[in-house]
A and B are shown apart, each in its own frame.
Chain A
Amino acid sequence: MLYRTAGQFKTSYAADHALFPVRQDAWLLGVILLFAFVIFPLTASEFTFKALLTPVLIYSLAALGLNILTGYAGQLSLGTGAFMGVGAYACFKLITIFPEMNVLVAILLSGFFSAAIGVAFGLPSLRIKGFYLAIATLAAQFFLIWLFEKWAWLCNYSSSGSIQVPTVEMFGTPVFGPNALAIVQYYFVLGIVTLITIAAINITRGRIGRMWKAVRDMDIAAELVGINLMKAKLSAFAVSSYVVGVSGALFVFLWRGAAEPIAFDIGLSFRVLFIAIIGGLGSVLGNFLGAILIVALPVILNTLPATFGVPISSAMVEHLNTMIVGALIIAILVIEPHGLARFWQIVREKLIMWPFPH
């Protein structure tokens, strides 16, 4: 009913390929953006910003980066955490070496460093495939973490070996550091995430995106139709690592406030991978749905017992939480292996058809 497509005629090829083939999609997106830009900021508490909204956005961005590589170009990577680390360390060095630099510029620049490292570690993908490649990206993961730990220059020789975010202002408002308001940081993150998401949608729908998809579906066939495999794979690594690097910089500078090398450990890589897969590979929307499920749900579950006054220890909640997340991953994979994004697709199809099933 709400999704009735009657009366929406497509009269040109371009209209058929538009971003929103159904008008209601655009409205829905408008509502979502309204929530993200106006309603949440007006209603959320500081806890909601810090523990739910900001991390969900940052993780979505990281998953989007990984999804470009894994979902669009078909190269499985387990090194996301380390590439996020590269972005974070690069941003730290940039703002400490050039304190005058605008923070937005610093964040966007730091992605280029992780893109470079990503391309370097992406080179083996020209020869190695599938799980072998996945394990090969683990080499990047473990080597880079070790490097962060050993190379004291990266953290400006701080005695604790970790990076601390100083207070940095943009246009007179503190954006980084302890004095920044949660709402300012939220808007900053939201702005960057929106920007990169729009860019990602355009790239993946364009020529490069189709090249990646061809490589994903079968790389030899893609090569035979004249796609330069090296260009396709390395560009996927570069774009993906750039986005991941930016998300890593946001992760530390707009959310955590400090980070030790171990924060970028393999566990982070897996979390981002979960989000991408549960959300749906090869989908932009999926990253956001996945992040809501993997990042926000445990936080909400944690607060439930206290809300309903269930006398249960905090440790027990954590155990149950781990179990529930594990079970949920299995359940979602069993119910819909293509992730939440596909699930939404099915629901949408049903809505368009409704109330006639055929």
Chain B
Amino acid sequence: MKRLRTTFLLPAALAAACMLSAVPAMSQDSVSLPNLSYRTGPFAATGIPLMNGQRDYMMMLNERDGGVNGVKLGYEECETGYSTEKGVECYEKTKATGIVTQPWSTGITLQVLPKSNVDKIPILAPGYGFSPMADGKVFQWAFNPPASYWDGASMILTNISDGNLDNLKGKKIVLLHLDHPYGKEPIPLLEVLAEKHGFTLLPIPVGLKEMQNQSAQWLQIRREKPDFVVMWGWGAMNAGALTEAAKTRFPMDKFVGIWWSGHDGDMKSVGEAGKGYRSISWSVPVSDSPVMQDIKKYVLDPKKTEIGEGEFDWVFYQRGVLISMFTVEAIKAAQEHFNTKVVNAEQLRWGFENLKINDAKLAEIGMTGMIAPFSTSCADHSGHAGGWMLEWDGAKFVKVSDLLQADQGVIAPLVEAEAKKYAEANAPWPINEDCKM
């Protein structure tokens, strides 16, 4: 009996306890906005500022305005440590009450993507995830505003070719990428572009265990003598690549990263040596913008939360703020449209489909200049906002380009084709036929 008690009754009791905990009492005027955060694990360094920014914006709204139209924002984190296995656990745990899922890792995104149709919870994957998710007809519940990786790749090429991709003819471009679904994202688009515009694309993978030891990759780069190196790096890989690039004297002005490779924390260890390195970004840190000052006033100064030294000015912290803004704006849109206070997951989905982030809106919420205007629709779940080049000046990232736009002429057919391929591979897959462009 004793044995029975310890082995079975105890777990059973605990299981019962967690069933209860998974369904906490919902008060009338709050919404549960879970976030599958990663403040631990190998990518913690990049995760922490992003999560802090997200948390602090929501907290600021709760403090300043009492939430959104009187509805408190219940921001909660479920820690995954970027592990896909914890991702399942967190998704199952939060889906009972949460009205949105933020999966963060590409691996977790791919896991929850098919479930979103069944569980009817929108996935918000801002600037990451699976590029074809932009196709709202196929991926009804997934959103990757304001721009997909393919948009990013296109913007980078536009910038390095001075606006005309034909200038790249005969050039050699290395894609230094993490050997992981995330790192492989831009390859389909880059291959199409390479064929169309006559440049050579050479993908060089960096294994997860080689992130900090990239000498082989950079020796290859030295041998191949590419005209440009484009980086799809993450976490410790960024600092490793920058260190090696500086060491092998690769010209920094020929080295460009995607938005997740432009992290102040990574660059800190490279310092002066990384001067001239650029990264495309759909967000720009504007520390004296009204919203950031409000965060300072309502959240940071009263010491409601703590962030690292200098983190306030970081690209990633302020990007976190913008990511929370997407959710909040979607809630606002849904509240107005459905004329309700507490929105549910389905209503929020409508909100994400009808994001209208224009200049007037940005001025209203005090974010002028932090992000390019964009809007989503039922067919376009990304918005394809433009981005800017940020350059590392040795101490911080500064904006060095005008607003760049991705070439939708190339991306749109590819998105449609890949989305179709995905739907076919996962048939039967529901497709929103009502949705016209």
Contact = CB atoms under 8 A, between A and B. Distances in A.
Given A47-B18, A166-B427, A318-B79, A178 B110 contact: no
Contacts of A159: 132, 184-185, 187-188, 418, 421
Contacts of A318: 39-40, 79, 81
A260 B15 CA distance: 29
A160 B130 contact: yes
Interface residues of A, number: 60
B181 interface: yes
Interface string A326-344: 0000000000000000001
A341 to B, nearest CB: 12
A337 to B, nearest CB: 20
A162 B78 CA distance: 24
B111 interface: yes
Contacts of B76: 314
Interface in A107-164: 146, 149, 156, 158-162, 164
A28 interface: yes
Contacts of A32: 8
A244 to B, nearest CB: 17
A45 interface: yes
A47 B22 contact: yes
Interface stretch (B87-95, B163-171, B334-342): B87-95
A296 to B, nearest CB: 6
Interface in A47-75: 47-48, 50-52
A299 to B, nearest CB: 6
B19 A166 contact: no
Interface stretch (B113-121, B244-252, B259-267): B113-121
A52 B13 CA distance: 13
Interface of A is mostly: helix
Nearest to A31: B4
Contacts of B20: 307
A303 B84 contact: no
Interface residues of B, number: 61
Contacts of A48: 15, 18-19
A300 B92 contact: no
A348 interface: yes
B180 A166 contact: no
A317 B76 CA distance: 13
Contact of A178 (B107, B114, B180, B422): B114
A89 interface: no
A256 B85 contact: yes
A35 interface: yes
A296 B425 contact: no
B308 interface: no
A19 interface: no
A306 B3 contact: no
29 contacts: A2-B1, A31-B4, A45-B19, A45-B22, A47-B19, A48-B15, A50-B88, A50-B92, A51-B89, A52-B15, A149-B205, A160-B181, A161-B184, A162-B110, A255-B88, A257-B88, A259-B84, A292-B11, A299-B18, A299-B89, A300-B18, A302-B89, A304-B17, A307-B20, A314-B37, A315-B77, A315-B79, A344-B3, A348-B3
Interface of B: 1-4, 7-8, 11-12, 14-22, 24, 37, 39-40, 76-79, 81, 84-85, 88-89, 92-93, 96, 106-107, 110-111, 113-115, 117-118, 130, 132, 179-181, 184-185, 187-188, 205, 207-208, 418, 421-422, 425-428
Interface of A: 2, 28, 31-32, 35, 43-48, 50-52, 96, 146, 149, 156, 158-162, 164-167, 177-179, 255-260, 262-263, 265, 289, 292, 296, 299-300, 302-304, 306-307, 313-315, 317-319, 322, 344, 347-348, 351
